[in-house]
Amino acid sequence: MSETAHEELFERVTDILLLLSDVAREEFRTLETSLPDSTPLGALIRGVNEAVQALSAGTARNREYLSELESTLSVIERQQTAIRELSTPIIEVWDGVLCLPIVGVLDTMRSVELTQGVLNAVVDKRARCIIVDITGIAVMDTRTVDQLIRMAKAVALMDAECYVTGLSPLIAQTLDQMGIELAGISTRRNLRDALQEYVRRRRQAHRVTIALDKTVG
């Protein structure tokens, strides 16, 4: 091989290596050559160019797929958030009184979400009482009771009262048979009873405060 041919080969190989280095950084380009495909070097360059073009097209498709996937996941996440908000609404039923109706299974993850939502609502609404209605819970076990107790304790730390309503006779009988106690949780038959009890206690506390003020005065 002549020196000129050797230099040209070295230059072409260097170009190919630089091209492959660019491809590794997802910078796609092709090599220009006037060599015919019948020559080994020309055939090599053509093969490299075709491989780079195929890789470029595949990378573009992958990027498009990833973009569509991210968009779909974003939509799903927003839908899940909306479903959670709709399935567990926190309703203000009285001045300073919020009601949380729970439907379905109260697992650990959902309990954490509900507790966080309740605490945020207590702060935003300046609530003094939370009524958790469990009419929609078909089955209650030790884990569910534990989650309710944790929620009630968290509410108490925010200086708010917590009532649990909607305890069905079947669930009450099941809890009694299992020896499960709703320690630290005030229970009432329904929302009306809980609300009446809260109002009665607030009025009583208000009368005591007035009496103390008169005594001090």
The model's pLDDT over 100-147, given as tens digits with 9 standing for 90+, comes to 998 877 777 788 888 888 999 999 999 999 999 998 887 777 888 888
Q: What is the pLDDT of residues 163-191, one digit of tens each?
A: 999 988 888 887 888 787 777 788 898 99
CATH superfamily of 91-216: STAS domain (3.30.750.24)
Task: Confirm whether pTM is higher than 0.95.
Answer: no
Q: Count how many residues are written for the chain.
A: 217
133 by Cβ neighbours in 10 Å (0-12 / 13-18 / 19+) ranks as buried
Break the chain into its structural domains and give their ranges.
3-84, 91-216
Query: Model confidence over 13-39: pLDDT tens digits?
Result: 777 777 777 777 777 787 777 777 777
Q: Which residue has the tokens 């055939």?
A: 43
SS3 sequence, the chain?
CCHHHHHHHHHHHHHHHHHHHHHHCCCCCCCCCCCCCCCHHHHHHHHHHHHHHHHHHHHHHHHHHHHHHHHHHHHHHHHHHHHHHHHCCCEEEECCEEEEEEECCCCHHHHHHHHHHHHHHHHHHCCCEEEEEEEECCCCCHHHHHHHHHHHHHHHHCCCEEEEECCCHHHHHHHHHHCCCCCCCEEECCHHHHHHHHHHHHHHHHHHHHHHHHHHC
| Greater model confidence, 181 or 157 | 157
Tokens of 106: 């109260």
The one-letter amino acid at 113: E
- Mean pLDDT of the chain, nearest integer: 80
pLDDT above 80 (res 211): no
Q: In what order do the strands lie in the sheet with 186-188?
A: 91-94, 97-103, 129-136, 161-165, 186-188
Phi, psi of 51 (to 5 degrees): -65, -40
Rounded Cα–Cα distance for residues 88 and 110 (Å) = 10
Tokens 């009262």 -> residue: 161
